[in-house]
């Protein structure tokens, strides 16, 4: 199974027992004496100016310490997007504004001695609004005459397309080849418009942040975040205090999925704490998470493909409109990713054009969400190729195998499209997509079901569908991770990484990598992560980077430690280092068999002679972003009388290089898959005509629970990526990209209807069935 001692083994997650025994601390579990509690007041209007705020009635309430709003807080423009500096997202947000841009936008903040008092004080704040016309339709955002959301003080820190005066938050254009000729050469065309809906991450832990002071008066922010270092930098800038005066700590965090790749609450708690020299804490309610925190960006994608009778795609034209909501967090990068992660998959298409725009509307704000644009574009891609294969009489599985990118190949898209700047050219070094397709097809019983219109019951029709995808592993040349280690006299090591474990298990995986290099058990690695004072820099957990990028930094660091171990051992064993190698926690001489244990080495180094602390640090920047590949298969049963769609079996087969920890890798795939299925079938934001979300609770925003789960099969195929630590690539996001399309394709297989607008509710399915009968 694996030739490694730690890597490739499903080592128990290092924090799982402490969590299971209720011993783990999440941000809201930290208690500070004398803490201020913050409660935000939100806008009831989709678009309005604030003419004035009268807060005296609330200020006078006992226990109310402060009320913040645009009249008393300095206006510093920033982006809440947690990205490297300078961010590719526009600085169009400030802590408080005299303008609200969606129902749920921040208006004023109460700081009080308790959450109850803070909540009560909200009703005493009177806001004088001047209502402005709202803009809800992204197709109208850039048209003349539409309400304009942002003024002159919004700007883009990077030289990218940004035209707020026409509500344009970002624009991407790429093309190569000759589209006209491409379409001329085509025998047939397919052109369809695909939508992807807004959704919420629904991490079980609502966003929470707390700011307090250490004994020297430095600001300490404990927060539920994916990006502690970006938090520190941004808060420092907003408060105008040096970053060295701020310490950011991520404790246990209750899930994120991209929703906490934001600097959302930290500026508020930090500002209040700094101003009043008291700790300050803010926790969002579940309702607030839906609208004040970020969402998945809704997309409209028009995909036009020209192809020959043999299925060769001669022209691929994608026009994407992304609704970024009221602020442009991740507006450019999610949009780019829709192209950069999808277009290279069928790399032999000669004529490609991708035009995308992110536009403002008076709706909740999009942000990072697992898949990050690729989920939306793969929905379009995978349905379109299913149609092409059918139209040209081909087996879709053979079709995909024929046209997808292979080892040794590249795509022009890699070079052209990056994140806010140009991309990085790369060649695929590892791809086992064919095996994923074959194993997945077998697991779902593809050929037994496809096109057979089997009826498990009188009014149930069964079908199968497939979706393939690739993602990336970290952002090449831009993102950096680092690690430091030091040795203890019992032969154990302290490992410090900035890398952020969201529950994903990166603490465990990184420990395994270090353990593998050092030939010790994982239990000998004591990891500390995500503390800006104690751990070295890491961009944070996003872009599927922790295993690949942070893992490489850990590997390099551990290798440096190995050299020091060999060095000390060589003097203890009176040997040449060339004759020495690490073996199960000791150093052994190959030629004479003598060995010395790590304990002996460390005791010697610390106390005996030429004393020094065995320690090292290393940083890593990736030069490429090797994609994981995935094939996902859905078997659905469609009830033709009610329109209900039930997934009976779902198979995910992934090539993620070497799975450092198979159980954790499976866990990532399973979680993403179930999220994808529930996104496909029942998740949606429902707004009233005033732009207010009316299903902002789990009462009416439905996600899957235990009884809903279909039979799930997860297959990790054997693969290895030479640029990754011990052959690893990423696996955390990719599982999200297939379910919507696989289910849509399966529905077509079952009942012959195409659905372009998830969630595929029974009502929509029924309507499509009825329309089909009418044809």
Question: Please, which of residues 495-524 interact with another protein by CB under 8 A?
Answer: 502-505
Q: How far is the CB of 759 from another protein (least distance, A)?
A: 9
Which of the stretches 299-307, 326-334, 557-565, 669-677 binds another protein when contact is defined by CB under 8 A? 669-677
Residue 563's contacts (CB-CB under 8 Å, 6 or more residues apart) are none
Residues 279-308 that bind another protein (CB under 8 A): 283, 285-286
4, 26, 176, 213: which one binds another protein (CB under 8 A): 26
Which of 145/707 has CB closer to another protein?
707
Q: Does 697 bind another protein (CB under 8 A)?
A: yes
Token pair 């379009």 in the structure block, residue: 380
Pairing type for strands 246-249 and 280-283 reads: unpaired
Q: Which of 362, 386, 349, 660 is nearest to 516 (CA)?
A: 660
Which one of 23, 123, 451, 591 is in contact with another protein (CB under 8 A)? Answer: 23
Q: List binders of another protein among 648-667 (CB under 8 A).
A: 663-664, 666-667
Binding status of residue 635 toward another protein by CB under 8 A: no
Q: Is 240 in the site for another protein (CB under 8 A)?
A: no
- Could you tell me the smallest distance in angstroms from the CB atom of residue 328 to another protein? 26
Asked if 252 interacts with another protein (CB under 8 A), we say yes
| Cβ atoms 26, 268 nearer than 8 A | no
Q: Cβ distance 553 to 495 under 8 Å?
A: no
Q: Which is nearer to another protein, 10 or 394 (CB)?
A: 10
Residue 113 CB burial class (10 angstroms; 0-12, 13-18, ≥19):
middle
| 62 is a contact residue toward another protein (CB under 8 A) | no
Q: Are 296 and 334 in contact (CB under 8 A)?
A: no
CB of 503 to another protein, least distance (A): 3
Q: Which is nearer to another protein, 12 or 415 (CB)?
A: 12
Interface with another protein, residue 714, by CB under 8 A: yes
Interface residue with another protein, options 131, 686, 718, 771 (CB under 8 A): 686
Site for another protein in 97-156 (CB under 8 A): 116
- Kindly identify the residues of this chain, within the stretch 167-226, that bind another protein according to CB under 8 A: 201-206
In angstroms, rounded to a whole number, what is the distance separating the alpha carbons of residues 257 and 648?
25
| Contacts to another protein from residues 736-765, by CB under 8 A | 761-763
Would you count residue 682 as binding another protein (CB under 8 A)? Answer: yes
Q: Report the residue number, 203 or 239, with the smaller CB distance to another protein.
A: 203
Among 130, 641, 752, 771, binds another protein (CB under 8 A): 641
Nearer to another protein, 338 or 660 (CB): 660
What DSSP designation does 365 have?
P
Please identify, using beta-carbon distances, which residue of 396 and 647 lies nearer to another protein. 647
Tell me how far, at minimum, the Cβ of 16 lies from another protein, in Å.
4
Examine residue 707 and tell whether it contacts another protein (CB under 8 A): yes
Least distance from C-beta 507 to another protein, angstroms? Answer: 12
DSSP codes joined into one string, 594-658:
-EEEHHHHHHIIIIISS----EEEEEEE-S--PPPEEEEEEEEEEETTT--EEEEEEEEEEE-BS
Cβ closest to another protein, residue 292 vs residue 360? 292
- Should residue 19 be labelled a site residue for another protein when binding is judged by CB under 8 A? yes
Q: Are 380 and 194 in contact (CB under 8 A)?
A: yes
User: How far is it between the farthest Cα atoms of the chain?
Assistant: 90
User: What is the smallest separation between the CB atom of 679 and another protein, expressed in angstroms?
Assistant: 11
Classify strands 246-249 and 219-223 as parallel, antiparallel or unpaired.
parallel
Nearer to another protein, 600 or 639 (CB): 639
Among 273, 252, 296, which Cα is nearest to 679's? 296
**Does residue 630 interact with another protein by CB under 8 A?**
no
Q: If binding is defined by CB under 8 A, does position 355 make contact with another protein?
A: no
- Piece of the chain touching another protein by CB under 8 A; list 14-22, 39-47, 86-94, 397-405: 14-22
User: How far apart are the C-alpha atoms of 645 and 82, rounded to whole Å?
Assistant: 37
Q: What is the CA radius of gyration of the chain?
A: 27
Q: Is 185 strand, coil or helix? A: helix
- Long-range Cβ contacts of 561-566 (<8 Å, 24+ apart): 561/485, 561/487, 561/493, 561/517, 561/518, 561/614, 561/615, 561/616, 562/517, 562/518, 564/605, 564/614, 564/616, 565/487, 565/518, 565/598, 565/601, 565/614
């Amino acid at each position: 199974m694996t030739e490694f001692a730690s890597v490739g083994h499903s080592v128990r997650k290092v924090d799982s027992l402490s969590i299971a025994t209720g011993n783990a601390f999440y941000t809201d579990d930290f208690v500070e004496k004398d803490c201020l509690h913050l409660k935000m007041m939100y806008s009831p209007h989709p678009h309005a100016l604030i003419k004035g705020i009268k807060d005296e009635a609330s200020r006078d309430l006992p226990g109310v310490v402060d009320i913040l709003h645009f009249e008393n807080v300095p206006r510093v423009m920033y982006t809440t997007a947690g990205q490297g500096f300078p961010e590719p997202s526009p600085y169009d947000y400030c802590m408080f504004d005299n303008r609200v841009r969606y129902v749920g936008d921040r208006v004023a903040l109460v700081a009080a001695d308790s959450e109850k008092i803070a909540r009560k004080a909200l009703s005493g704040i009177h806001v004088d609004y001047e209502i402005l016309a709202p803009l809800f339709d992204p197709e109208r955002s850039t048209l003349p005459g539409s309400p304009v959301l942002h003024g002159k003080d919004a700007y883009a820190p990077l030289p990218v397309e940004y035209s707020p005066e026409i509500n344009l938050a970002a624009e991407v254009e790429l093309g190569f080849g000759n589209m006209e000729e491409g379409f001329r050469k085509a025998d047939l065309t397919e052109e369809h418009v695909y939508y992807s809906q807004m959704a919420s991450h629904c991490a079980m832990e609502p966003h929470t942040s707390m700011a307090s002071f250490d004994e020297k008066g430095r600001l300490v922010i404990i927060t539920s975040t994916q990006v502690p270092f970006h938090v520190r930098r941004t808060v420092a800038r907003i408060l105008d205090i040096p970053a060295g005066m701020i310490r950011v700590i991520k404790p246990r965090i209750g899930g994120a999925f991209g929703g906490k790749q934001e600097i959302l609450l930290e500026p508020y708690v930090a500002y209040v704490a700094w101003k009043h020299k008291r700790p300050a804490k803010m926790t969002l309610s579940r309702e607030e998470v839906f609208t004040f925190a970020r969402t998945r960006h809704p997309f409209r994608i028009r995909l036009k493909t020209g192809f020959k009778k043999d299925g060769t795609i001669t022209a691929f034209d994608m026009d994407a409109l992304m609704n970024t909501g009221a602020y442009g967090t991740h507006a450019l990068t999610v949009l780019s990713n829709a192209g950069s992660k999808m277009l290279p998959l069928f790399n032999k298409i000669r004529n490609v054009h991708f035009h995308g725009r992110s536009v403002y509307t008076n709706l909740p704000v999009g942000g990072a969400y697992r898949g990050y644009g690729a989920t939306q574009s793969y929905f379009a891609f995978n349905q379109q190729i299913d149609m092409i294969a059918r139209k040209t009489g081909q087996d879709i599985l053979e079709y995909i195998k024929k046209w997808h990118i292979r080892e040794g190949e590249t795509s022009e898209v890699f070079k052209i499209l990056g994140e806010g700047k140009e991309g990085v050219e790369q060649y695929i070094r590892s791809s086992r997509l064919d095996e994923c397709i074959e194993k997945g097809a077998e697991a779902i019983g593809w050929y037994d079901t496809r096109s057979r219109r089997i009826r498990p019951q009188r009014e149930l029709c069964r079908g199968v569908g497939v979706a393939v995808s690739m993602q990336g592993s970290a952002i090449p040349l831009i993102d950096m991770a680092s690690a430091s280690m030091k040795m203890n006299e019992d032969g154990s090591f302290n490992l410090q990484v900035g890398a952020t474990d969201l529950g994903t298990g990166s603490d465990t995986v990184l420990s395994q990598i270090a353990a593998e290099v050092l030939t010790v058990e994982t239990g000998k690695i004591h990891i500390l992560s995500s503390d800006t004072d104690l751990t070295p820099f890491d961009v944070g957990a996003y872009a599927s980077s922790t295993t690949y990028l942070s893992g490489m930094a850990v590997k390099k660091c551990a290798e440096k430690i190995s050299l020091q171990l060999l060095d000390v051992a060589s003097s203890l064993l009176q040997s040449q280092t060339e004759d020495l190698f690490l073996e199960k926690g000791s150093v052994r001489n190959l030629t004479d068999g003598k060995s010395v244990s790590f304990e002996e080495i460390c005791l010697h180094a610390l106390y005996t002679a030429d004393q020094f602390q065995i320690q090292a640090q290393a940083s890593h920047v990736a030069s490429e972003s090797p994609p994981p590949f995935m094939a996902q298969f859905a078997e659905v049963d469609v009830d033709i009388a009610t329109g209900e769609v039930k997934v009976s079996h779902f198979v995910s087969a992934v090539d993620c290089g070497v799975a450092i920890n198979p159980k954790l890798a499976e866990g990532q795939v399973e979680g993403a898959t179930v999220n994808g299925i529930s996104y496909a079938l029942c998740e949606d934001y429902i707004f009233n005509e005033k732009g207010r979300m009316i299903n902002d609770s789990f009462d009416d925003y439905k996600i899957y629970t235990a009884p809903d789960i279909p039979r799930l099969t997860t297959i990790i195929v054997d693969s290895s990526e030479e640029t990754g630590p011990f052959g690893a690539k990423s696996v955390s996001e990719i599982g999200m990209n297939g379910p919507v399309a696989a289910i849509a394709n399966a529905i077509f297989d079952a009942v012959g209807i195409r659905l372009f607008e998830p969630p595929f509710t029974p009502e929509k399915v029924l309507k499509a069935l009825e329309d089909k009968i009418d044809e």
